[in-house]
Amino acid sequence: MKIKKSNYIPALKYNWLTRFYDSLISKFLREKEWKKLLIVSIINQNPEKILDVGCGTATLTTMLQKVFPAAYLTGIDGDDKILAIADKKIKEAKLNIDLNKALSFKLPFADDYFDVVVSSLMLHHLSDEDKQKTLHEILRVLKPGGQFVIADWGKPNSIFIRWLFYIVQLLDGFSTTNSNVKGLLPSMIIDAGFVAVKELQRIPTILGSISIVSSKKP
């Protein structure tokens, strides 16, 4: 799939920063802590198929494969460079994970295909319109009763954290992150047709609050 550069924002906005993504996220955002919380929140302990939307360098994807070794793991992302890093990481860990280049709002999968869909720090890169398209696509590819768990920027825990989040907005854009900082993710997920929508955790970090939200397909 050809992705227009004008419509695609790399993980840290600039392509030259991509190679530093893992070290920066790990150092400043307590990454392993909230990704473990995301995994713990997965209700189905024997999922057959799991999709990681916006898998990035596949840190979460590889963690999921180790927790659910019998599951078929798939990761999608729209960035060739970050997928190359993910592929190298997966091969070094000798894991069996399928990577695909695709956009979140046009998933190349059949209806009712996955037991679990996850996403971490991806949705805030999208316009509100594309957020809604993405959520509808995730609902489509989930099996009835399947679970969607997302970890992304949420409403700040304090005024101080709100000021720190301006750093993220300078990198990732104000228009795409405004709905996150207003705490609108749960309501957007409800509007897309999910049920049992609940914010499970809000983890403060040096750059903002990470919100973990769980939901289900009816």
- Sequence ranges of the domains in the chain: 5-216
Count CB atoms within 10 A of the CB of residue 26. Answer: 12
Residue 18 is predicted with a pLDDT of 43
Q: Quick one: fold of 5-216?
A: Rossmann fold (3.40.50)
Q: What angle do CA 156, 183, 208 make, to 5 degrees?
A: 25
Cβ atoms within 10 Å of 84's Cβ, excluding its own = 13
Q: What is the pLDDT of residues 175-216, one digit of tens each?
A: 999 999 999 999 999 999 999 999 999 999 888 899 999 999
- Nearest of 136, 157, 169, 146 to residue 50 by alpha carbon: 146
Strand 72-77 with 49-53, pairing: parallel
Q: What is the mean pLDDT of residues 42-56?
A: 97
| 46, pLDDT greater than 90 | yes
Residue count of the chain, please give it: 218
